Structure 1
Amino acid sequence: MTDASSAPRWPGSVALVLASSTGGVGQHVRSVARGLAEAGASVLVCGPAATQEQFDFTGAGARFVPVEIPASPTPADARAVAALRRALADAKVDVVHAHGLRAGLVAVLARPAVPLVVTWHNAVLAGGLRGQLSRLAERVVARSATIALGASADLVARAAALGAPDARLAPVAAPTLPAPRRRRTAVRAEFGVAAGQPLILSVGRLHPQKRYDVLVDAAARWRTRRPAPVVVIAGSGPAYLPLAARISAARAPVTLLGHRTDVADLLAGADLALVTSDWEARQLFAQEALRAGVPLVATDVGGLPELVGDAAVLVPPGDVDAVDAAVRGLLDDDARRAELARRGVERAAAWPTEADTVAALAALYAELSPPGSGPARPDAGAPSTGQR
Structure 2
Amino acid sequence: MRILMLTNSYVDRTRGGVELHVHNLAKELVAAGHEVTVGRTSPGQSLLPVEGPELWVIDPDAAATEGRSRSRRSTGGGRFLSNFLARVRIGRRIGRVLADADLEQRFDVVHHHDFITSSVIARRLAQTGLRQVWTNHLGEFLILRRIPVAGRWITRWLTAHFDAATGPSPELAEQAAVRCPIRYVPNGVDVETFRPADPEERRQLRRGLGIAEHETVCIVPRRWAPSKGVLYAARAMSSHAWPAGVSMLFVGAGESDFPEYAAEIRTSLARARSHVSVVDSVDALGMAEHLRASDICLIPSLLEATSLSALESMASGLPIVATDVGGLPELVSDATGLLVPPRADDELAVAVATLAARTDTERRDMGVRARAFAVDSYAWSSIARRISAMYEDSSA
TM-score normalized with structure 1 length: 0.80
Task: Tell me how far 1:266 sits from its aligned partner.
Answer: 0.9
Partner of 1:312: 337
Measured in 1, the distance between the counterparts of 2:88 and 2:159 equals 19
Task: Label 1:166 to 1:221 Cα distance change in 2 as closer, same or farther (>3 A).
Answer: same
Task: Label 1:314 to 1:223 Cα distance change in 2 as closer, same or farther (>3 A).
Answer: closer
Task: Label 1:241 to 1:252 Cα distance change in 2 as closer, same or farther (>3 A).
Answer: farther
Partner of 2:173: 156
Task: Label 1:290 to 1:51 Cα distance change in 2 as closer, same or farther (>3 A).
Answer: farther
| Counterpart amino acid of residue 97 in structure 1 | H
SS of 2:378's equivalent?
A: coil
Partner of 1:43: 36
Q: Deviations over 1:254-283 (max 9, x none)?
A: 322111121121112111111000121111
Measured in 1, the distance between the counterparts of 2:97 and 2:227 equals 34
Say if 1:152 and 1:171, in contact at 8 Å, map to a contact too: yes
Partner of 1:60: 52
SS of 2:377's equivalent?
A: coil
Are 1:95 and 2:113 matched, yes or no? Answer: no
Partner of 1:105: 119
Task: Tell me how far 1:98 sits from its aligned partner.
Answer: 0.6
Say if 2:38 and 2:53, in contact at 8 Å, map to a contact too: no
Say if 1:43 and 1:63, in contact at 8 Å, map to a contact too: no
Task: Label 1:241 to 1:368 Cα distance change in 2 as closer, same or farther (>3 A).
Answer: farther
Partner of 1:28: 21
Measured in 2, the distance between the counterparts of 1:270 and 1:221 equals 21
Task: From 185, 188, 197, give the equivalent of 1:173.
Answer: 188
Measured in 2, the distance between the counterparts of 1:13 and 1:258 equals 37
Task: From 354, 361, 366, give the equivalent of 2:387.
Answer: 361
Task: Tell me how far 1:161 sits from its aligned partner.
Answer: 1.8
Q: Deviations over 1:149-171 (max 9, x none)?
A: 111111112xx122424111111
Are 1:232 and 2:229 matched, yes or no? Answer: no
Task: Tell me how far 1:51 sits from its aligned partner.
Answer: 8.3
Task: Tell me how far 1:136 sits from its aligned partner.
Answer: 6.8
Task: Label 1:368 to 1:56 Cα distance change in 2 as closer, same or farther (>3 A).
Answer: farther
Partner of 1:7: none
Aligned length: 355
Say if 2:246 and 2:274, in contact at 8 Å, map to a contact too: no
Task: Tell me how far 1:148 sits from its aligned partner.
Answer: 2.1
Percentage identity across aligned positions?
Answer: 24
Measured in 1, the distance between the counterparts of 2:224 and 2:135 equals 23
SS of 2:214's equivalent?
A: coil
Task: From 243, 246, 270, give the equivalent of 2:268.
Answer: 246
Partner of 1:216: 234
Say if 1:244 and 1:256, in contact at 8 Å, map to a contact too: no
Higher RCO (CA-CA < 8 Å; seq separation 6+): 1
Task: Tell me how far 1:48 sits from its aligned partner.
Answer: 3.6
Say if 1:20 and 1:70, in contact at 8 Å, map to a contact too: no
Measured in 1, the distance between the counterparts of 2:234 and 2:226 equals 13
Partner of 1:289: 313
Q: Deviations over 1:342-371 (max 9, x none)?
A: 2212212311321222222222222249xx
SS of 2:250's equivalent?
A: strand
Say if 2:131 and 2:163, in contact at 8 Å, map to a contact too: yes
Are 1:337 and 2:363 matched, yes or no? Answer: yes
Measured in 2, the distance between the counterparts of 1:85 and 1:176 equals 39
Partner of 1:303: 327
